[in-house]
Amino acid sequence: MKTLLAAKTYSLTGDVTMVEGTLFHDHLVATKFFVPSSSHPLIARPQLTTLLNHSLRRKLTLVSAPAGFGKTTLLSSWVQSFPQMKPQAPLVAWVSLDEDDNEPALFWTYALTALDAVQPGLCTQLLTYLQTQQAPKPPLRNVLQALINSLASRSEQFLLVLDDYHVITQPEVHHSLTYLVEHLSPQLHIILATRADPPLPLSLLRARGEALEVRTNQLRCTDEEVMAFFKKVMSFPLPADIIQEVTARTEGWLVGLQLLGLSLQRHTNPGDLLDEVNGSQRYILDYLMEEVLRRLPLSVQTFLLRTSILERLSAPLCDAML
């Protein structure tokens, strides 16, 4: 199930459509503006929810952890609880990024379209500037300055979520986002969900108290959350001693718990579950192959493959294997 931030689409001219008053170009992928919804029950994580609520007082929130720690699920469930917070809740603009969004104009077209969808007219003129075919195009900084000034005059609060920001490698995108964050008005808060820290001035923002970070250790599931997961999500309650062992072996890795839960269908004795908590478990291997290994550069894949037979690693030994 998906939640669309803007609907009611009707045609304008050429490759441009209007989405509830928002200019929407046909080269944009509409589903990237959806807030993902889970197809299964979710466990409550009140400590993280409280942390995210407090983050709205900062300019930037960085949710940074490897694949499978529940970054997107956490953020999507949090923003979908906003209707209960009215009138304090901000308007949510969501963009799920991919590798194609490294072109600066396209990146900002997505971001501005998402904002314009939740507040029609906010970025319509700026989007027109970005899409102009006339040369020379207006400098990107001019567009961002206009956005900053427009937001500063608003009474509404906005939240821009950029999911999977780790796919962005273009320096100009990082530089332009840094400029926006450094000059951001209190009306807009930005959240980056990423598998790796972006090249933004995080130390400076941290020192100024303008950034909040949610990292791997905070995203790890506790014993209580693991117990709630198997009871509520998997409908397979486990005794406390098994829960503690599973938590220790998975290190609170949420997707590891989900994949292990699939193997419960083959076991009548919960103790057998512990035998599945290792790297040879088929579901875990499939996940690592799809979400981690295949996304690495070819040189890194080659290195991991050739050194995988070694029981211990050292620089000279690894060099000898290459």
Answer yes or no: do 86 and 163 share one domain: yes
Measured CA angle at 213 (ends 209, 214), to 5 deg = 150
Quick one: three-class SS letters along 160-229?
A: EEEECHHHCCCHHHHHHHHHHHHCCCCCEEEEEEECCCCCCCHHHHHHCCCEEEEEHHHHCCCHHHHHHH
Residues with Cβ within 8 Å of residue 87, at least 6 apart in sequence = none
Question: What does DSSP assign to residue 293?
Answer: G
SS3 category, 158: strand
Per-residue confidence (pLDDT) for residue 64, from 0 to 100? 97
Answer yes or no: do 39 and 122 share one domain: yes
Neighbours of 220 (CB within 10 A): 18
- How many structural domains does the chain have? 2
Per-residue confidence (pLDDT) for residue 56, from 0 to 100? 93
Phi and psi at residue 149, to the nearest 5°: -65, -40
- Specify the DSSP element, H or E, that contains 35: strand 34-36
Tokens of 91: 């308007």
Would you say residue 129 has pLDDT above 90?
A: no
Residue 99 in domain: yes
Answer yes or no: do 242 and 213 share one domain: no
Q: Which of 219, 253, 279 is the last residue of a domain?
A: 219
Tokens of 140: 């990107």
Residue 250 in domain: yes
pLDDT band of residue 284 (cuts 50, 70, 90) is low
Percentage of the chain beyond pLDDT 70 is 78
Average pLDDT taken over every residue of the chain: 82
Residues 45-74 pLDDT 10s = 999 999 999 999 999 999 999 888 999 999
Residue 90 in domain: yes
Residue 178 in domain: yes
Taking Cα atoms as reference points, which of 6, 4, 2, 3 lies closest to residue 22? 6
Residue 295 in domain: no
Residue 116 in domain: yes
Q: Which of 204, 219, 234 is the last residue of a domain?
A: 219
- State how far the Cα of 249 lies from the Cα of 253, in Å rounded to an integer: 9
Q: Which residue has the tokens 């599931």?
A: 221
Instruction: Classify the C-alpha dihedral 81-86-90-94 as positive or negative.
Output: positive
Answer yes or no: do 117 and 171 share one domain: yes
More confident site: 317 or 207: 207
Answer yes or no: do 182 and 90 share one domain: yes
Would you say residue 19 has pLDDT above 50?
A: no
> What CATH number is attached to the domain comprising 139?
3.40.50.300
Domain that holds residue 267: 223-287
Answer yes or no: do 60 and 158 share one domain: yes
- Specify the DSSP element, H or E, that contains 25: strand 22-25
Residue 51 in domain: yes
CA of 47: how far to CAs of 218, 290, 299, in Å?
Answer: 9, 31, 40
Q: Which amino acid is at 245?
A: E
Residue 322 in domain: no
Residues 27-43 pLDDT 10s = 889 999 999 887 677 88
Answer yes or no: do 80 and 167 share one domain: yes
* pTM for the structure as a whole: 0.80
Residues 289-299 pLDDT 10s = 665 666 678 88
